[in-house]
Amino acid sequence: MPPAVVLFAPSPLLTVTIEDRAGQPDIHVHPGGQGVWQARMISSLGVPVVLCAALGGEAGDVLEHLLPSEGVELRAVRVGARNGGYVHDRRGGDREAIAEAPGGPLDRHEQDALYELVLAEGLRHGTAVLAGPNSDQVIPAELYRRLATDLGANGCRVAADLAGERLDAVLAGEPAVLKVSHEELVADGRADSDEPAVLVAAMKQLRADGADTVIVSRAAEPALALPGGGDAVLEIHVPPLQAAEPRGAGDSMTAGVVASLVRGDSVREALRIGAACGALNVVRRGLGTGGEAAVRTLAERVELIEWEG
């Protein structure tokens, strides 16, 4: 079995989704949030996950029971701040937000405890994914800078799927893998349009700023990748599939890339696996889900084409 991936999910969500089942409400209660969905996908590929999170309040009490699963070990810091959550109604087909609550901010002692936990686990296992909080108020970007820098300086491979101040902060640690969406690059002012040439220039700047492999997801358009160790930009073409849930493809892609690298695959193979995870995610209603056999079958159909501008 490959080594475990440490996943920093600072403030998981408690999610309640109402579906329709034969004309009756069908209520689903799950843990959620970017890091949780990534942990789910990584573990589905046979790579164990150590999920590091802060838990507090009634939502945190429930999440403490929901988060551990096959292949996912929970390591939690109990905090005074409450975890966030949402209630969504999908009976009409689209998601209707009934209620949404952000996670509360952690105080400095809670931040220190969470940093210490992630640092120790990352150094123990050798690969860490830094996922974002569900709310900007949960933890400061500075914590990401410290984690990325200290983990990387001590031999831990760091991957990040972040934007804004947290993306800027994590670059100080020279992450091995950095994934960002084209919308985030534009919103952050790193790109002034979604034209491929503009995005490629932003990717090369991210490389110059410290990232090794840079991946930019582009919604329905082929993702772009600048693999570590080279200057060739790749377009990632996935098989055409009908989307049931368009959210979460980028998160699943990051998870698949990291899981593949931990297994010892090349960067190009990791990009294929990651793209297949993202493609499979959108045909399922559960975020961060998909079977390993289906992922590998789809990965055989993923094409990496050199972008020529």
Q: Is residue 1 part of a domain?
A: yes
pLDDT of residue 230: 81
Length of the chain: 309
Do 54 and 169 lie in a common domain?
yes
User: Domain residues for 276?
Assistant: 211-309
Alpha-carbon separation of residue 185 from 37, 67, 216 (angstroms)? 22, 31, 9
Do 34 and 170 lie in a common domain?
yes
Using CB atoms within 10 Å of the CB of residue 192, give its burial: 0 to 12 exposed, 13 to 18 middle, 19+ buried: exposed
Do 170 and 249 lie in a common domain?
no
Do 116 and 5 lie in a common domain?
yes
Q: Is residue 260 part of a domain?
A: yes
Number of structural domains in the chain: 2
Q: Is residue 200 part of a domain?
A: no
Do 17 and 166 lie in a common domain?
yes
Strands 127-131 and 5-8: parallel
**Boundary of a domain, candidates 127, 155, 175:** 175
Please report, for the domain that includes residue 273, its CATH number: 3.40.1190.20
Q: Is residue 199 part of a domain?
A: no
Tracing tokens 């992450």 back to the chain, one arrives at 175
pLDDT of residue 285: 54
Do 27 and 156 lie in a common domain?
yes
pLDDT of residue 288: 44
β strands within 227-274, DSSP E: 234-237
Q: Is residue 197 part of a domain?
A: no
pLDDT of residue 94: 83
pLDDT of residue 78: 97
Among 31, 122, 147, 20, residue whose Cα is nearest residue 85:
31
Per-run averaged pLDDT (10 residues), the chain, 309 residues: 91 95 95 95 96 97 96 97 96 90 95 98 98 92 97 97 96 97 96 96 97 94 92 92 67 96 96 93 58 89 92
pTM of the predicted model, to two decimals?
0.92
pLDDT of residue 297: 92
pLDDT of residue 156: 98
